[in-house]
Amino acid sequence: MSIVILGIDLGKNSCNVVGLDAGGTVVLRRRMRRDGVVAFAAKLAPCTMAMEACCGAHHMGRSLATLGHEARLMSPEYVRPYVKAQKNDDRDAEAIAEAATRPTMRFVELKSEEQLDVQTLHRVRDRLVGERTSLTNQIRSLLLERGHVVAQGHARLRLLLRELLDAGADTLSPRMAFLLGDMRARWEELDRRIGAFDAEFTAMARTDDRARRLTGIPGIGALNATALVAAVGSAATFDKGRDLAAWLGLVPRQATTGGRPKLLGITKRGSRYLRKMLIQGARSAMPTLARADTAVGAWLRALLARAHPNVAVVALAAKMARTVWALLRHGRFYGPVPRAMT
């Protein structure tokens, strides 16, 4: 059996595999369990193993790579056009194998176990932040129903809770006071756990050379730097900085036809978490950068003169993504470029 490309449609328990020979003819169709895929690949000569970049794909790719095979991961969006007729698991595996043969296909770099660990830490922290936001919003609504209006910000809410619960105020019923006290204890526990994650990310940014270089960029701290290094690695997958910005969904969506270019809003493709972190970092750094006598400052002032501040924030985030690519790809350190003298 001369299999050159093996397309694998991954599932939680079972997987469909389709093998192609050198001419692109289907020579194998089979359904097997996940551990059976590795056992079957161990019997094959080194070939290309193609999969969609989904949950469990990186672990499977590393397992197949140790057997001497070439693992190729692709975005499901790029595989979808190759599905013929009705969609099923077998057709999906065939489409994956066929898509992997295309010379212009874009592949996802295999992530190491360390990168996946850091990404998991970020996902858990983001979930805890969401829980804290939901909890504080519920506290605000309960207080509002009892005539207590709280300004925005956690500090104002903590102060009001202290006045109501610790100062012995009689404005709350005993049942409501007990409930709010329990919710405040939960809030403090979430703060403690989120702070522990932040301390761990700070320690990572100090010890990892790539993350330490990224923290020199205005608007990028330990949280952004570790998340970007975990997701991008050395940025070898991207040929230029704009490719990274496009992968993060920070470039305009195109609707060009008949030679008439038309740019719309940003695509919002890729990781929503990374895009959110970059935009938040750009928003915090924009006032300082706009006052700086640098090339970025001059560009930003000119942009703010003709565009909405929110548009300028996204444009600055895209420029930050390009800078991240340059530092990771070429191993450089960030340094502001002085404004050119006219």
- Under the banding of pLDDT at 50, 70 and 90, the label for residue 12 is confident
The 10 Å Cβ neighbour count of residue 308 is 10
**What pLDDT does residue 99 have?**
96
The pLDDT of residue 342 is above 50: no
**Pairing label, strands 5-9, 48-52:** parallel
Thinking of the domain 5-108, which architecture would CATH place it in? Answer: 2-Layer Sandwich (3.30)
**What pLDDT does residue 152 have?**
87
pLDDT in tens, 67-121: 999 999 999 999 999 998 888 999 999 999 999 999 999 999 999 999 999 999 9
The contacts of residue 50 (CB under 8 Å, 6+ apart) are 5, 6, 7, 8, 72, 73, 74, 96, 97, 99, 100
Under DSSP, is residue 56 helix (H, G, I), strand (E, B) or coil? coil
Contact 331, 242 (CB under 8 A): no
For the segment 272-296, the average pLDDT, to the nearest whole number, is 94
For the segment 307-329, the average pLDDT, to the nearest whole number, is 95
Provide the token pair at 293: 């006598």
pLDDT in tens, 160-200: 999 888 866 677 888 999 999 999 999 999 999 999 999 99
The model's pTM is 0.88
The pLDDT of residue 333 is above 80: yes
Domain ranges of the chain: 5-108, 113-207, 209-330
Region of residue 14 (phi > 0: left; psi between -120 and 50: alpha; otherwise: beta): beta
Under DSSP, is residue 119 helix (H, G, I), strand (E, B) or coil? helix
**What pLDDT does residue 1 have?**
61
**What pLDDT does residue 168 have?**
66
**What pLDDT does residue 169 have?**
63
| Share above pLDDT 70 across residues of the chain, in percent, rounded to a whole number | 97
Provide the token pair at 180: 């709010």
Region of poorest pLDDT, from 5-9, 148-152, 188-192: 148-152
pLDDT in tens, 217-275: 999 999 999 999 999 998 988 999 999 999 999 999 988 888 888 888 899 988 999 99
